[in-house]
Structure 1
Amino acid sequence: MSNAQFETYGPSPAAHEPPAYGGFDPYSAQTLGYGVQGVHGGYGTRTESYRPAYEMYAMHGAHGTHGSHASHGSHHGAHEAHGLREPYGKHAAYDAYETYEDTYKPAYEDPEPEPEPVVRPGRGRRAAHRRKARPVERGEGSMRRLVPQALVVAFLAGGTSAFVAKDKAVELRVDGKPRTLHTFADDVTELLTDEGVKVGAHDVVAPAPDAALTSGDEVAVRYGRPVRLTLDGQRREVWTTAHTVEAALKQLGVRAEGAYVSTSRSRRIGREGLALDVRTERAVTVMADGRARTIRTNAATVQEVVDQAGITLRGQDTTSVPLDTFPRDGQTVTVLRITGRKEIRDEAIAFAVERVEDPSVFRGTEVVERAGVPGLRRITYSLRMVNGVRQKPRRIRTEVVREPQTQVVKVGTKPLPTSVRGADRLDWQGLAACESGGRPDAVDSSGTYGGLYQFDTQTWRSLGGKGRPQDAPAAEQTLRAKQLYVRQGASPWPHCGGRLHG
């Protein structure tokens, strides 16, 4: 312990005033328990063990390491106060409130200290008000020297009490490993910082990090561990502070009874975490062959559930939900018994029609130059019976047997003549009414004659007509009938020809 502590808390100016106790000085060497008489008097070895460090320095530093004046019997009285006085002499006791210049000057340099002027606290050496000290008796001087000692002892005792009060004994448990330690931290955060314990967002600290600390408290830190959990087919990442798989399942609220767990439940979870697949127990009903079976299972697929129910799928048999899906709690799975056959059907493919303009054909006339041919399509259907019920045919294959051929039609653009010399003034309307009832598309019962004037195909084409007469416009049919009259007269219409002349 350095002398600087005692110099900083040196005697107050009141220590230089005469004592107020008259002839009895309670702070003299005879009454102070820690004085020289305590060493050689009634306190013996017990008080000597509590001798302050500054007193030991005064006796061994000022008079050598082999004893002081006070340790010799013949000089006991003469140096009784001297052993206590020297460390707090001129440069210690009276200059305590001045600057720290020459604070470590040994006591033996001034064996006979002279009175110094009083220096008031809070003022420097230049500002001090000095007055001449009056002589004091031996008892009064002893008191002045012992008062600073008492103040230093009191300060040390108070500082030690405050020091002990700040010290706290706490138990710190980090991830289940406890240790008891002493700390001056005020709260949990400060304690963890002092001990180098780092916590993250997923770690748990109890009590809260801002909670104040008192002696006897218990602080627990539980590190979070990542768990890549697949629970009933759903994948997610969760965090837990549990140390084992079983404890983690409880903490996460997973119903573990009857569940499938991909690893041992007693396995410890390290800080790096682990991957965990859990399938809880579920109730699934399987309907097959008119009978319902409800089983409790932790199966991963519908196929496993069907197998556990003792049901065999044959041929085209399947289930109402895909066999590779995850079975849910309370789900009903229906087994579909399928029987069936294939059926092939041929269908016609319609041909396309291409129209081409032809200037050699009178306007309004269309002539089929190339007839279209329908194509052929062959379709294969599946005819099924599901649990005895006939299902709608399902197309499973289609192939084209023959491609269709496009039909080509010529469309006339040639203007029609307005008249035929020698035949314009005849009653062609009366003739048409007699031959076809005035219908341009009329065809006789034999199919040989057609149109307004019942042309046969050979005669029609000899007159320049295209296609069939009944397909030509009425104006073209009248034109061709006039041309025929000019060539042959009324003979082509032996029964109705007389109508031409009214």
Structure 2
Amino acid sequence: MRSLVPVIAGAAVLAVGGGSLAYAGLRSDVTMAVDGQATQVTTSAQTVGDLLSAQHISVGPHDVVAPSTNTELRDGTQVSVKYGRQVTVSVDGAPQTVWTTATDVGSAIATLGLDTTGADLSTSRSAPIGRQGLSVNVATPKRVTVDAGGKKQTLTTTGATVGAALKAAGIAPDDDDQVSLPVTTTLTNGAKVTFVRVDVTSKSKRSDVDFKTVEQKSSKLERGKTQTKTQGREGSRTTTYRVVSHDGDVVSTKATKSVVTRKPVNRVVVVGTKAPAEPAVANVGLWDKIAACESGGNWSINTGNGYYGGLQFSLATWRAYGGTGMPNEQSKAAQIAVAERVRKGSGLGNWSCA
């Protein structure tokens, strides 16, 4: 029996060695590239799917595996895994979201077929895209015409809004200025923008304030006479105006405030109310006798026949000899004074009662 042991041992060795040869025959040397990073892998996996599981690689619906996961592995098989990335590209404010296996911004934009010549990107074209994805803003060049103060200029800008176009034109609008489109309006190629520079200023102007004339009656001064008690003096007023100009031309002026900086001094005039002294008259007795005959001695009578007063003057005679007003409204002395001038000029023939 002992002489058989080596043979059995040798058979066991052969069996083990044969198993090793069989195991080695089930392994494959493959190249595996994940997002372009290649490594050499020796594996006993039978298919691409098995290989991914062995390498703890999970793929989703947006990932790309080549060849397919049910492909059998052989020595020299090249397996590529490209992970999908969600990329949002906003072109002039209009977003579009896609899944791509591109690993850098430039390649992702190329897959969308976008012409970004001359465009500004929020991220470098060479920037990598991680598996978490990326958002990129693309501002395309736009040709814009800006009319400012009647002068037009055409420029190309990648600005996204009307405000950005104005800035590119060297214009910084303030709250008073007028723009044909809101500055937040999305800019489009061929847009036309009109800008009006509005200046609002304040202007002050001084002017005179007229004085009034005030009358004060006085019984110490004869009726018909006046005296200036206080000389009048003009005052001063300052008026503030709001002046609006468009591109340097005044379009409106409105008073916003008016202040009297110096009050005027009223002119005060004293007006006499005292009855004047009766003038000394001659021949009172004669004229009393004639008045008694002509008017019954009523020196204020108006008979309605064209003759007036105690001596029944016609207006023509009364005025011809210096009488004022209406004869019947004058004093007895005033009527006699005029009668004396008539007597001296033409006698007493004007009175039938003389």
Structure-2-length-normalised TM-score: 0.45
If each structure's strand is expressed as a fraction of its own residues, which one has the higher value?
A: 2
Structure-1-length-normalised TM-score: 0.33
